Amino acid sequence: MTRSKVGVYVLAHRRAMRFALLLLLATLLGVNAWSIYTRALILADQGVLRAAGQIEQHFSHVFGFLDTLRVETEQELGSLDKLDAAAASLQALQDDPSGQYFQLDSLKGGAGGRQLGNLTGTGRIATLDVAARREMEVVVGLSPLFEAAYRNLDVNGVAWVYFVSARRFIYLYPYTPSANYHYSAITEQGAFWRLGSPEGNPTGRRVLTPVYIDQAGKGPMLSVVQPLRVGGAFAGVLCMDITTSTLVQLLKPSDAELGSLYLVNGQDQLVAATSQQALPQENLLNMPVSADYLLTPNAHIKVYPINGAGLRLVHYLPTQALAIDVFQRSLPALFSGLLLWLVLGMLLKTWELNHNLHRLSEQDPLTGAMNHRAFQTRLSELFDRYQLEERPFSLVMCDLDHFKRINDTLGHAKGDQVLKVLVKLAKRSLRLEDGVARLGGEEFVLILPDTSMREALKAAVRLRLQLERLDWARIGIPGRVTASMGCATVLPGDRCGENVLKRADDAMYRAKQEGRNRVCADLMTAEDPVRR
């Protein structure tokens, strides 16, 4: 199909083409938006998985150091009878002036400048038995392990590493003055003690406490609690405290992703969040782990497990935020689609203008028939094809009878109407491959490819009868309108298409001379004069 034919086809179906193009663009934009939406969820999921991985890794390190401390502490506590109850480090113990507790404040610097923790306990030093003194010596001797656990978990690791003994004392690392914190009755009410003691944890498993406010002033935190048993008896608990601010910092690398992250513990309590706003939905706290995003009216929600810690990470992705993100990412495609629509619209307009110019250059502006220029082009094409392929064609000259009288009596507007009706009748009665051209005034010619004289006469007579029998009064023309016609078919002796037109014109004039409103055949084509 040539470019001109494509243009003509598009113009002929411009509404359908516009609709199809609009549907195509809408489909492409929809597919692009869906792809962006899917990719946004994938990227968000990957960001949350990274955050969950960091939380898991952090707790894994904490658990590893806690296990090492547990093994060493249980082993040393199992050898209490071999220790000296009068060790030098315990000689530094002092009673607080209040008489309610004792402390190790004087050993703040430790040996060789190494920082130690602080040991405090309830009561007075004089009341301590040998077993209690030996246990304290073991714990103070394990200070390097406490320090290693604290320092190797980096700056954002743990807030405190400590041992709380069933003998009612605590060793707390790093050092804090006993005036800020010391063992007391409040210590025994702490979540770490309640969840680590046999009454709250009969199986001795490692547990995480709910979030609480640190008595030593480091803010909200949770404790990882490991009960200790020596010789089958409960000896105390080893704890590592993690502040909620540390957990927020671990979540923050994903804070740039869409939505908010909420870390929830096994008690359905909010532990940490990347958003300062209140929970958008209260039921987020008790949602189970999910493999895919759950679509709610307001958000996409997915819950991730924090393996080994008994925590869950909830990703709350508001639908509105996601829609805005998808829209912003779709803008380049949207602008491209709009630009394509404008370009195609301009192309369609250009085709339409070119088509109109082409039509004006080949069509009679009044009747829509071929003009003289287009007729000459078509006649040359038919004659050339006749010479190459011997395919015949016929021409029918048509001239309206007494047309000048119509113009003079009824006006040129009525005359123009008659000319338009003639062309419409001709186009309606002819085949698609046939044509009608206006040569000037009231003279027209019917172009009939692959048509013999007999078929041409039939076509001419059919048009003449339709013209004669038409109810002209409906358009304000009294009486009848008739035409005289002449038919000619190409002959081997013709040197050009004009020869055929000349014979058709002569036959038409003969029809005029013989009384008008009739069809005559070319005398050279027909054996006998033909009148219809």
Give the pLDDT confidence score for residue 111 in this predicted structure: 52
Rounded to whole angstroms, how far apart are CA atoms 16 and 200?
Answer: 76
| Cα angle for residues 158, 163, 165 (degrees, 5° grid) | 155
Q: Rounded mean pLDDT of the chain?
A: 87
pLDDT at 463 over 50: yes
pLDDT at 239 over 70: yes
Say how many C-beta atoms besides its own lie within 10 A of residue 458's C-beta.
15
Average pLDDT of the segment spanning 461-485? 92
Residue 82 — very low, low, confident or very high, per pLDDT cuts 50/70/90?
A: low
* Helix 3-12 and helix 319-362, axial crossing angle in degrees, nearest 10: 110
Q: Are strands 169-173 and 118-122 parallel, antiparallel or unpaired?
A: antiparallel
Q: Which of 1, 2, 21 minimizes the C-alpha distance to 347?
A: 21
Give the pLDDT confidence score for residue 258 in this predicted structure: 75
Average pLDDT of the segment spanning 69-76? 91
Amino acid at 505: D
Element (H, E) at 163: strand 160-165
Residue 253 — very low, low, confident or very high, per pLDDT cuts 50/70/90?
A: low
Digit-coded pLDDT (tens) for 274-332: 888 777 776 777 888 888 888 888 888 999 999 888 899 999 888 888 888 888 888 88
pLDDT at 122 over 70: yes
Average pLDDT of the segment spanning 109-126? 78
pLDDT at 254 over 70: no
- Which pTM does this prediction carry? 0.66
Average pLDDT of the segment spanning 392-396? 96
Average pLDDT of the segment spanning 25-49? 88
Provide the token pair at 466.
Answer: 């339709």
First and final C-alpha spacing in the chain: 42
Rounded to whole angstroms, how far apart are CA atoms 37 and 333?
Answer: 14
Query: What percentage of residues in the chain have a pLDDT greater than 90?
Result: 48
Query: Please, what sign has the CA dihedral across residues 463, 465, 469, 473?
Result: positive
Give the pLDDT confidence score for residue 530 in this predicted structure: 42
Give me the numbers of helices (H) and strands (E) for the chain, helices first please.
13, 19
The better pLDDT of the pair 427, 89 is held by: 427
Question: Per CATH, which fold does 372-521 belong to?
Answer: Alpha-Beta Plaits (3.30.70)
Provide the token pair at 17.
Answer: 């083409």
Digit-coded pLDDT (tens) for 405-421: 999 999 999 999 999 99
pLDDT at 84 over 60: no
Residue 11 — very low, low, confident or very high, per pLDDT cuts 50/70/90?
A: low
Q: Are strands 519-521 and 483-489 parallel, antiparallel or unpaired?
A: parallel
Q: Where are the domains of the chain?
A: 54-233, 372-521
Assign 493 to helix, strand or coil: coil
Amino acid at 120: T
Rounded to whole angstroms, how far apart are CA atoms 148 and 242?
Answer: 16
pLDDT at 372 over 70: yes
pLDDT at 531 over 50: no
Average pLDDT of the segment spanning 15-38? 86
Q: Which of 95, 82, 96 minimizes the C-alpha distance to 130?
A: 82
What phi and psi, each to the nearest 5 degrees, are found at residue 522?
-60, 135
Residue 120's DSSP bridge partners are: 103, 170
